[in-house]
Amino acid sequence: MEERKKMKDGGEKDAEVALQITEESENAAAKKDNGLIKDGGQELQEANKAVISSRSKRVASLDAFRGLTIVMMILVDDAGGAYERIDHSPWNGCTLADFVMPFFLFIVGVAIALALKRIPRVSAAIRKIVIRTLKLLFWGIILQGGYSHAPDDLSYGVDMKHIRWCGILQRIALVYLLVAVVEVLTTKIRPTAIANSPFAIFNAYHWQWIFGFIAFVIYMITTFAVYVPDWSYVFHSEGDINDGKRFTVKCGVRGHLGPACNAVGYVDRSVWGINHLYSQPVWIRLKACTLSSPNMGDLREDAASWCRSPFEPEGLLSSISAILSGTIGVHYGHVLIHFKSHSERLKHWLLMGIGLLICGFTLHFTSAIPLNKQLYSFSYVCVTAGTAGIVLSAFYAMIDIWGLRTPFLWLEWIGMNAMLVFVMAAQGIFPAFVNGWYYESPNNSLVHWIQRHVFIKVWHSVRLGTLLYVIFAEIVFWAVVAGILHKLGIYWKL
């Protein structure tokens, strides 16, 4: 995944990461109700306790979904180099890695609906939202802006002339801020009950959908109406024969959805400046750039002029489109709040998920709007949000309805400490710390020794050894750590 594997500066969660928004309001309300229980008979007390327990019960499937997203990130980050078919699609299409970012935004949206369903004071809620947003931006710049070179490069620091302003956490911060503020500002018109109608919940929260529609319109108009002129850049790569050479990209078009002349890249070059964009975009694996496509390989001699150029996969215009992923997640949270029976929740979730999949695949296969993570196209929003809804529904059925919780406990543990696992594992801070203790050479550390001697040499395969290392030495290891921390009641939350 480009967000860490190639530059270690991060880039496709929230990791609430911000993914750690909890049901604080619900728990507070349960405690308040508990204080109202008075002596009035044993039966009344027991009944009240049952109601309180029901109110404060945590939906375990949400933690499992969050944990799954973190696990997917670790897998595609660290095994994507060996199995590039699971890494990001070079341009159009959708791979396993392309589901990570929208899954993060989806679960952030669900968490927003739950955490903000009771708001004693609007000003206090907005203050907390702003503080959490600033925390996300801070960690995003530190981990994904180029300052951290973890895990293999033991140096640190970033040239401010080339710092990357965008990234995973920065995008999550933007989506979280806007979607949460809309949720807070509409609290006074929030319904306490929903009418028995298929579209009643959409009408009850119409301001959220209006905001999502505004984001959609801004994205679509900008994408298809903005004129993209010719542009140029200077390629920088120490030791490369083209280092210092200026390349010119011919455009002069509108509504282009290819790598060279799309409005998404034009907006980022204009707003952030080309030096502050991601320097190793995955389109370098396209046929126009390498004969090894869809795998990584040497550039062709006749590679297109844009192949070496920077491109920001978490840019400004694509983040506006990403607001839709958070809006859809908020809707799933509203369904969880207002629909009390399991069947009603699943019916609504599945119908919407299937509808989004049909819409997205129709747009893609008719070539109207192709699936594209780099552009965060509307078809991509539909397919990934629909998939997220179906996966959450499956988890909800297995964990919260059928009680099959034990097989998914490890995902719950990771999900409840998502920020910790994101920073330490997905962003490579823990292996970087271990690599700092080496013998004679930085390549002779405990992490490198385990990779070589426990996995790669045993299986006589770099690809298989890398995959097994990621599964056992990273995912399983952090699941155990998260489980221990859960037992101790230790969580890292923003």
End-to-end CA separation in angstroms for the chain: 24
> Phi and psi at residue 439, in whole multiples of 5°?
-120, 110
Average pLDDT over residues 272-290: 93
CA distances from 221 to 173, 178, 214, 328, 378 (A): 24, 20, 11, 21, 12
DSSP letter for each residue of 475-492: IIHHHHHHHHHHHTT---
Residue 409's H or E segment, with its range, is helix 409-416
Average pLDDT over residues 417-425: 94
CB 493 within 8 Å of CB 419: yes
For residues 250 and 230, give the distance between their C-alpha atoms in angstroms, rounded to a whole number.
5
Helices (H), 301-377: 316-338, 342-365
Strand, coil or helix: 364: helix
CB 212 within 8 Å of CB 320: no
Q: What is the pLDDT of residue 195?
A: 77
Q: What is the pLDDT of residue 30?
A: 38
Average pLDDT over residues 343-356: 96
Q: What is the pLDDT of residue 281?
A: 93
Percent of the chain whose pLDDT exceeds 70: 88
Where are the chain's structural domains? 25-56
Closest by CA position to 227, among listed 265, 253, 262: 253
Q: What is the pLDDT of residue 34?
A: 40
Q: Do you find a cis peptide bond into 151, omega within 30 degrees of 0?
A: yes
Residue type, 316: L
Average pLDDT over residues 142-161: 92
Residue found by looking up tokens 């997205």 in the block: 360
Q: What is the pLDDT of residue 337?
A: 93
- Per-residue pLDDT tens for 14-30? 333 434 443 443 344 33
Q: pTM above 0.75? A: yes
Res. 3: pLDDT tops 50 = no
Neighbours of 406 (CB within 10 A): 8
Res. 36: pLDDT tops 80 = no
Q: What is the pLDDT of residue 53?
A: 41
Q: What is the pLDDT of residue 320?
A: 97
Strand, coil or helix: 363: helix
Q: What is the pLDDT of residue 16?
A: 39
Q: Which two tokens stand for residue 234?
A: 């200077």
| DSSP count for the chain of H helices, then E strands | 19, 6
Closest by CA position to 97, among listed 292, 460, 384, 296: 384
* Residues belonging to the chain: 494
Q: What is the pLDDT of residue 57?
A: 67
CB 103 within 8 Å of CB 380: no
Split at pLDDT 50, 70, 90, the class of 194 is confident
- Per-residue pLDDT tens for 364-409? 999 999 999 999 999 999 999 999 999 999 999 999 999 999 999 9
CA distances from 404 to 71, 333, 397, 419 (A): 20, 22, 9, 25
Q: Which two tokens stand for residue 362?
A: 């129709």
CA-CA-CA-CA dihedral for 72, 73, 74, 79, to nearest 10: 80
Percent of the chain whose pLDDT exceeds 90: 76
- Per-residue pLDDT tens for 90-110? 999 999 999 999 999 999 999
For residues 333 and 98, give the distance between their C-alpha atoms in angstroms, rounded to a whole number.
23
Residue 272's H or E segment, with its range, is none
Task: Please give the residue that has the higher pLDDT: either 182 or 40.
Answer: 182
Q: Which two tokens stand for residue 47?
A: 């009944």
- Per-residue pLDDT tens for 56-69? 467 999 999 999 99
Helices (H), 116-259: 122-144, 168-185, 200-204, 206-225
